[in-house]
Structure 1
Amino acid sequence: MKTTYLRLTMSAAAVAVLAACGAAPVGSVSTTGAGTVPDPIPQASPASEAGLQNWIRGFRSRAISSGVSPAVYDNAMSIARYNPEVIRLDRRQAEFNRPVWEYLDSAASDSRTTKGRGLAGTYAGLLNQIENRYGVDKYIVMAIWGMESNFGGNRGKMQIIPSLATLAYDGRRGEMFSNQLIAALKIIQAGDVNPSGMLGSWAGAMGHTQFMPTSYLAYAVDFNGDGRRDIWSDDPTDSLASTAAYLKRSGWVTGLPAVVEVRLPQGFNYGQTGRSNTKSGSAWAAQGVRAIDGRSLPSGGIIAPAGQQGPAFLVTRNFMALRAYNASDNYSLGVAMLANRISGGPGIVGSFPRAAGSLTHNQKEEVQRRLNRLGYNVGEPDGAIGENTIAGIKAFQRRIGVEPDGYANTTLLKQLQDRT
């Protein structure tokens, strides 16, 4: 589960850490994924390294009071070193924001679809067992695997303990990473992996489907019955099952599509869009909303990620379960579209306004600043067009008498510039 884009912030960041696992002999588990060489830790300044080691000594009492044994703490933290690379990545600013159509093109690309279809055949028996156990669409599980690690090809090779220790000590979100570090230590204590075999991305996401340590403690399962919840090895069994368990616990409803592409009628009021504005399928149908593929509409809300000029989607409770895994509409749409394509369905039928382009990060910040000046209070300008900004855009559009589709484009920016 990744995103700088931090995986945790787009999935269940507030998952409570389970009760401390029972202790296992330190070093009793062989390094998972033997043969994988961890990424080297760059040389840090003496001051940074000394600061981290001092912090590790001070953090020991907190970890122990949280249920980590002294022996596990001392053994695991013995490999911790200050990693300046993770700090650089944590503080990196995105150079550009991709428009939604480019994101979805990549998410459900032809190459990823082809690879996913092949692997769905290879693991058909396992996927059917997982679907039968948890009731989660096997193609959704496959799509998350593809989105998170390119079907296991990019699981990350950074040692998790040094990365989390560095971020907890010197990062922008120290408390959050402190909690992740304690969770990682509890995973080691449970005997699922040893410190050197716990590898993943720079921010602590691990395995085929990129679980943060707290999410692992809450949802990971030992599906193959070997006594370990192993998400680090080349075998994806436990990772795929754990992903299904996560979605099931997040409210997944068996047999319900996460996303249905819809055609909106002429004159549709875009002020109704938004995933939280849920209506029954029959209520939407009464307004003239129709599924592109002709199916009956389920209950849900309608989103139009590129405004009235782009395609529209009815999103259901299962879309919200995907957002629990990664709190991003684009991500959840990407998973649903990739799953549909892997299962043999089509891609998105509607057309995006590609020729018009999209706003740059700086232009999106300008939209937010100008909305704030007009009293819409959309929050600190950060270039991320979230719910507050969309609500502000809609309110502004109503005020000036244009369709309130909530979409930030060059037309909207010009309208704001003319009034501020």
Structure 2
Amino acid sequence: MAHDSSNHSARGVSGLLSRRAFTLGLAGAGAALPLLAAPSAFAQSAAQPFDAWVRRFRARAKDRGISDEVYDRVFNGLKPDTRVYAQDQAQPEFTEEVWQYLNRRVSDWRIERGRQRCKEYSSLFDRIERDFGVERSVMLGYWGMESAYGDILSNVNAMPPVFPSLAALAWGEPRRRKYWETELLNALVIVQRGWGTPAQMNGSWAGAMGHTQWMPEVWLNMGVDYDGDGRISPFGPPDDALAGTANYLVKRGKYRRGEPWGFEARLPMGFDTNLADNKTRRALSDWSQMGLASIDGQSLAGLPDPARLWLPGGPGGPALMLLHNFYAVRSYNPSSNYALAVVHLGDRVMGYEGFRTPWPGGERALTLSEIQEIQRRLTALGFDTGGTDGRVGTMTQRAVRAFQQKAGISPADGYAGLVVLNTLRRGT
């Protein structure tokens, strides 16, 4: 159940930490989906034609127990989706400013939809918290980030078939070809087990599928039959997907029951920001001796728990104390920006405010009504946004990018921000 956000502050120690069973003593004192580094050029590099590669790869599939019937069902008529080589170069976790990355994903639409889902699936979240110890805020953060709470799973433009993508990567991506071959084999095993069909297995360019975007290896090894239907699936009802992701966090991320991910801190005047490297672990009491406190002024003295300090927006922006569970969340995708978006979205869904410290050089996120206004104005100008619901999906981003190009706005990055809104309002 969501709380009234006016009564809470993001990362405030009393608001965020003491509400959990694990409080770090502060009440009394005052969480694979691997991402790839971008290649220097389009990655396609194959030693043989695709058809010849498919014939040779059959032996690898047989060694994994794949029948000829399943192999033929998957590969007959399949064409490699070579668009994946370009998509591999432009991953937003590594190319966007942090404030922009957060604004795109921690939107009013995702917050409101998350609160609806939180109520709708309250009993499921109760069960996951009991069985795995992973808070519903974290699960809602993943669900909202990965598939807009399942809303985009039926959108073939956002979630195309994964076998053409995985086959293209296994055939022609030279840097991690062994990895992609293994994931393609894992996907074939899923079909062999009867857990999914090639037609059902839609997902991202990298082969991640379902409500929380499982890679095939995660589906096979971390999946949970949580709805008791005799099969494991990240599609359909969200039970298996959310439970499998919680299972992943506990077993691979070492998520700790009842512990927070961190909190926003206040730095003293003249603090050496080189110490905020998101690497060096110090006890909270040691950070306290350097003059740090929670954003609402509570002391960290006497607290032994280790934490890292991170300034995601650089000096002058929010200062975050990162505890163990932040890195448990990060284990799902090795990007601190991604992990921050997950936990921040989850906290906002649960009613906590945004960061108190402004982002240097950033701009505020647009409200739901402002996003809807952008969509209406773009639609009136002939740019197809796919609707005016306030959710910035693939079609809205394409429409914004096309408008930016026509209006001479640089960069034409598809970001629906204040510049686009004000330009539309001026009619220029």
**TM-score w.r.t. structure 1 length?**
0.69
Which residue number corresponds to residue 278 of structure 2? Answer: 275
* Residues 199-258 of structure 1, C-alpha deviations (whole Å, 9 max, x = no match): 11222010011111112222111111111111122x111111111111111110111111
* Residues 355-407 of structure 1, C-alpha deviations (whole Å, 9 max, x = no match): 69xxxxxxxxxxxxxxxxxxxxxxxxxxxxxxxxxxxxxxxxxxxxxxxxxxx
User: Do residues 182 (structure 1) and 161 (structure 2) align?
Assistant: no
Contact 2:165 2:205 in 1 (8 A): yes
Seen in structure 2, the aligned counterparts of structure 1 residues 300 and 355 have a Cα distance that, compared at 3 Å, is closer
User: Do residues 344 (structure 1) and 347 (structure 2) align?
Assistant: no
Of residues 241, 244, 253, the one that matches 1:242 is 244
User: Do residues 54 (structure 1) and 52 (structure 2) align?
Assistant: yes
Structure 1 residue runs of 5 or longer lacking an equivalent are: 1-5, 12-47, 357-420
**TM-score w.r.t. structure 2 length?**
0.68
Contact 2:34 2:334 in 1 (8 A): no
Q: Distance in 2 between the 1:212 and 1:142 partners?
A: 19
The one-letter code sitting in structure 2 at the alignment partner of 1:187 is I
Structure 2 residue runs of 5 or longer lacking an equivalent are: 1-31, 38-45, 364-428
Which residue number corresponds to residue 201 of structure 1? Answer: 204
The one-letter code sitting in structure 1 at the alignment partner of 2:314 is G
Cα offset for 1:197? 1.4
* Residues 12-57 of structure 1, C-alpha deviations (whole Å, 9 max, x = no match): xxxxxxxxxxxxxxxxxxxxxxxxxxxxxxxxxxxx9x92221111
Q: Distance in 1 between the 2:362 and 2:330 partners?
A: 29
Q: Distance in 2 between the 1:164 and 1:355 partners?
A: 37
Q: Distance in 1 between the 2:206 and 2:362 partners?
A: 36
Of residues 4, 28, 34, the one that matches 1:8 is 34
Seen in structure 2, the aligned counterparts of structure 1 residues 126 and 312 have a Cα distance that, compared at 3 Å, is same
Which residue number corresponds to residue 138 of structure 2? Answer: 140
Which residue number corresponds to residue 342 of structure 2? Answer: 335
Seen in structure 2, the aligned counterparts of structure 1 residues 295 and 53 have a Cα distance that, compared at 3 Å, is farther
The 5-angstrom pairing of residues 211-290 of structure 1 reads 211-233=214-236, 235-249=237-251, 250-290=253-293
Contact 1:220 1:229 in 2 (8 A): yes
Q: Distance in 2 between the 1:78 and 1:231 partners?
A: 25
Contact 2:307 2:323 in 1 (8 A): yes
Q: Distance in 2 between the 1:216 and 1:93 partners?
A: 23
* 1:260 partner SS: strand
**Structure 1 stretches of at least 4 aligned residues deviating more than 4 Å after TM superposition:** 91-94, 295-298
Cα offset for 1:69? 3.5
Which residue number corresponds to residue 419 of structure 2? Answer: none
* 2:199 partner SS: helix
Seen in structure 2, the aligned counterparts of structure 1 residues 179 and 221 have a Cα distance that, compared at 3 Å, is same
Q: Which has the higher contact order (CA 8 A, sep 6+)?
A: 2
Q: Distance in 1 between the 2:89 and 2:77 partners?
A: 24
* 1:84 partner SS: coil
Seen in structure 2, the aligned counterparts of structure 1 residues 7 and 247 have a Cα distance that, compared at 3 Å, is closer
Contact 1:309 1:353 in 2 (8 A): yes
* Residues 171-202 of structure 1, C-alpha deviations (whole Å, 9 max, x = no match): 34432211110110111122211222111122
Contact 1:199 1:232 in 2 (8 A): no
Of the structure 1 ranges 294-303 and 133-142, higher mean CA displacement relative to structure 2 is found in: 294-303
Q: Distance in 2 between the 1:229 and 1:323 partners?
A: 24
Contact 1:278 1:300 in 2 (8 A): yes
Q: Distance in 2 between the 1:300 and 1:188 partners?
A: 43
User: Do residues 315 (structure 1) and 322 (structure 2) align?
Assistant: yes
Cα offset for 1:312? 0.5
Of residues 79, 82, 91, the one that matches 1:81 is 79
* 1:301 partner SS: strand
The one-letter code sitting in structure 1 at the alignment partner of 2:333 is N
* Residues 96-120 of structure 1, C-alpha deviations (whole Å, 9 max, x = no match): 9321111122222222111111110
RMSD: 2.6
Which residue number corresponds to residue 115 of structure 2? Answer: 117
Seen in structure 2, the aligned counterparts of structure 1 residues 295 and 149 have a Cα distance that, compared at 3 Å, is farther
Contact 1:10 1:326 in 2 (8 A): no
Q: Distance in 2 between the 1:171 and 1:90 partners?
A: 10
Cα offset for 1:271? 2.5
